[in-house]
Amino acid sequence: MKPIHSNVTIRHGARLPHWTKETATYAVTFHLADSLPKSVADSIRFERKDIFETAARMKRPLTRREQARLQELYSTKLQSRLDEGRGKSWMREDRIARIVAEAIAFFDGDRYRLLAWCVMPNHVHAVLQPLPGHELPAILHTWKSFTAKQINRAVANNGQLCEAEYYDHLIRGERDLQSQINYVLGNPRRAGLEDWKWVGAASDLEPRASLR
């Protein structure tokens, strides 16, 4: 990992760079492997990586224009394509969505503070703050690894379930935080899902999954 500025660090994931900071809050998205056309996923990865690496190479923070472009990539290009509901969309079934929702809620208050969450048919959103001693990559790995095993077992699927990488947004201030929470809570409505119940705060759901 490379320190950049104000205790912010760039960590390189499988395909994407991620900005991390102690005590930070993040909006994160991960999705099923078949939910984005390859050309779209590759385009987003390339531009996001280029923005981060340019700032790191110049040893400076992101400019406002770069931050705006990252937000556009995250909330417009990525999210709108995910909301098209491509792929098998396993979480459209309540029994599968419940597996994911319970996994997200399981360590709330122990490893992280979960502020908002939404399990969509082919992707997942969460706004969370890792607690001391726990890092975002490990939290996401636990969620994805556990849910992939459980869902593959439930639907008799042998292939890759989740895309290897996830998308994260380091939240900057109260206005940004409220915007991200509103986005997560409003995602089902924007995607045309009526009476979608897999959305809310972690306290809305009693975790029953075992992540052993």
**59-84 pLDDT tens trace:** 988 898 988 887 777 666 677 788 88
Residues with Cβ within 8 Å of 203's Cβ and at least 6 positions away in sequence, in order, are: 108
The pLDDT tens digits for 104-135 are 999 999 999 999 999 999 999 999 999 999 99
Q: To the nearest 5 percent, what fractions of the chain are helix, strand and coil?
A: 45, 20, 35
Task: Write out the two tokens for 81.
Answer: 């394509």
Q: For residue 66, which amino acid is it? A: E
Check if the beta carbon of residue 199 is closer than 8 Å to that of residue 193.
no
CA–CA distance, 202 with 51 (Å, rounded to integer): 33
pLDDT grade, residue 46 (50/70/90)?
confident
Range 46-63 burial, b when 16+ CB lie within 10 A, else e: eebeebbeebbeeeeebe
Residue 12 in this model has a pLDDT that exceeds 60 = no
- What superfamily does domain 8-204 belong to in CATH? Transposase IS200-like (3.30.70.1290)
- Supply the pTM of this predicted model: 0.74
Residue 138 is predicted with a pLDDT of 95
Percentage of residues of the chain with pLDDT beyond 70: 83
Residue 43 in this model has a pLDDT that exceeds 90 = no
CA–CA distance, 136 with 26 (Å, rounded to integer): 9
Average pLDDT value over all residues in the chain: 83
Residues with Cβ within 8 Å of 25's Cβ and at least 6 positions away in sequence, in order, are: 115, 127, 128, 129, 171, 177
Output the DSSP codes for 81-147.
HHTT--S--GGGSHHHHHHHHHHHHHTBTTTEEEEEEEE-SSEEEEEEEEPTT--HHHHHHHHHHHH
- Residue 204: phi and psi, rounded to 5, are -75, -15
Its sign, for the CA torsion 105, 173, 20, 55, is positive
